[in-house]
Chain A
Amino acid sequence: MKLSRRRRQRIARIGGYVVFALVLLAVAGSADWGRLSEAFFRLDVAGSMFPEAITIALRNTVAYTLLAFVFGLSVGLVLALMRLSSIGPYRWLATAYIELFRGLPALLVLFMVGYGVPLAFPDREIPGGVYGSVTVGLGLTAAAYMAETIRAGIQAVPRGQLEAARTLGMSHTRAMISIVLPQAFRIVIPPLTNEIILLTKDTSLVYVLGVTSTTIELTKFAGDSLNTRVNPTPLVVAGLLYLVVTLPLSQLVRGLERRAARER
């Protein structure tokens, strides 16, 4: 018997749902729900983490993220402009920096800033304590990525924009500040927001600097709670708190990208 196109499509569709339902049932049936909720969803353990989980741990996570982001953005902008400079040594230096820090693990850089530099220069220290070390330690790596993003953004502004500004008598610097950079930043807002998301997660490395009860961030906080309560529920709580920060940001990126697509 020959099936019509419509019938064939319907059968394939129903088949797809059936397979999905069967797999779901098999997984749900084989899981030990009592054990799972006892391990990961103990409300009393979760409750004991608050309010410190938010007032200290989440607050520090967000603070580290923002500090490293602002530092990285500033250094990244300078690097991007150096990359586009007509002066060779500036370009080479920026390229070397970017290649170096994109090639190194963030954790290694953090160690270097947190321990390596203080050992080499015991009489000087990075201001701001852990906050200062984190800003620099995570910011140096973030700057390398952001520099490339910003450079791409500047280059995505059509050449005619600069030419139009120059023909109106603006100097190169004035044209960059008033015309090119504002448009470049509009282009790079979505990728830079992604960079914030990555940084948020990278702040989990901060514990290696030896944080105290006031400078603790989410991952270390959850790890400590796991140790004292001998129960992994804190990890789930920390995970959810990360998502509280990162999911709205991803949503924002998506919205911005849709808007950018419309304006084209």
Chain B
Amino acid sequence: MTTMSTIEISGLHKSFGTLEVLRGIDLAVEPGEVVCVIGPSGSGKSTLLRCVNLLEEPTSGTIRVAGVEVTDPDCDIDAVRRGIGMVFQQFNLFGHLTVRENVTIAQRRVLKRNRAEAARVATENLARVGLTDKADAYPAQLSGGQQQRVAIARALSMDPQLMLFDEPTSALDPELVGEVLAVMRGLAAEGMTMLVVTHEMAFAREVASRVVFMDAGVIVEQGPPARVFGEPREDRTREFLHRVLEPTRVSETEIGAHLPGNRGSGTDDPDP
């Protein structure tokens, strides 16, 4: 018997009108894996992630989550989503509810847990993200980093078998990124299966079991982080990593600019 992949994507295409955002994606995520998806903006990373729990309806292709085909029109998507936690770039905490209510409302309404049980799970998960003392605060009273940690606790309270992270630190002030990454690192260490779209290359390098590089709607290459970051095989990967990891070294010839009085920075490039 073969073990079942947590996510199995094959031949996934997605178009918005005439714009083809995903052009044939095949990807599997195994239980316990942390897969980081990197790539330039507009490459389709977020759309790929949002297809997994059907926030976006794929144009064609199939997606299975824990063996259930979510792309099947007869699939009970609400039931599947219960098992998939999702963390958004903009946190999306419910502004009219306190932190505790944010973490309990779906437990109560969807899982039908009683009040005491939901509160117990909420406290447990707020402790996991280090925010038990903020249970009675409203989201607007929290920093971005705290809001994102609450969002993670909210997702965890549904006991998901898979967590999706859609650029979870991109909307944060730089000094708040670390606290969110720390929580995610802890989750990875506990063995949570995670699919993470991120621009945090250091996080991907350190925590990911596999890095997937996407560009223009396709997976260009994937592999262990040491391999993808250390010796990328594709030119597009190399160029992207160069721009992301050494932004101050991007030369004007690379971007086609001709600035006077700034010679010698394009030494890698034989073209004057």
Chain A positions near chain B (C-beta within 8 angstroms) = 158, 160-161, 163-171, 174, 178-179, 182-183, 186, 263
Contact = CB atoms under 8 A, between A and B. Distances in A.
Interface of B: 53, 55, 78-79, 81-82, 84-86, 88, 90, 92-96, 105-106, 109-111, 140, 151, 154-155, 158
A163 B106 contact: no
Contacts of B78: 166, 169-171
Contacts of B90: 158, 160
A178 B88 contact: no
Nearest to B86: A167
Contacts, number: 62
B94 A163 contact: no
Contacts of A263: 140
A165 B96 CA distance: 13
A186 B226 CA distance: 50
Contact of B94 (A161, A167, A171, A174): A161
B109 A183 contact: no
Given A160-B88, A167-B86, A263-B140, A182 B106 contact: no
A168 B110 contact: yes
A167 B55 contact: yes
25 contacts: A158-B90, A158-B92, A160-B88, A160-B92, A163-B92, A164-B86, A164-B92, A164-B94, A164-B151, A167-B55, A167-B86, A168-B82, A168-B105, A168-B154, A169-B81, A169-B106, A169-B158, A170-B78, A170-B109, A174-B109, A174-B110, A182-B96, A183-B95, A183-B96, A263-B140
B245 to A, nearest CB: 30
A99 B155 CA distance: 43
B4 to A, nearest CB: 21
Q: Which of B53, B110, B154, B155 has the most CB of A within 10 A?
A: B110
B81 A186 contact: no
A150 B110 CA distance: 27
Contacts of B109: 170, 174, 178
A167 B53 CA distance: 7
B92 A161 contact: yes
A226 B163 CA distance: 74
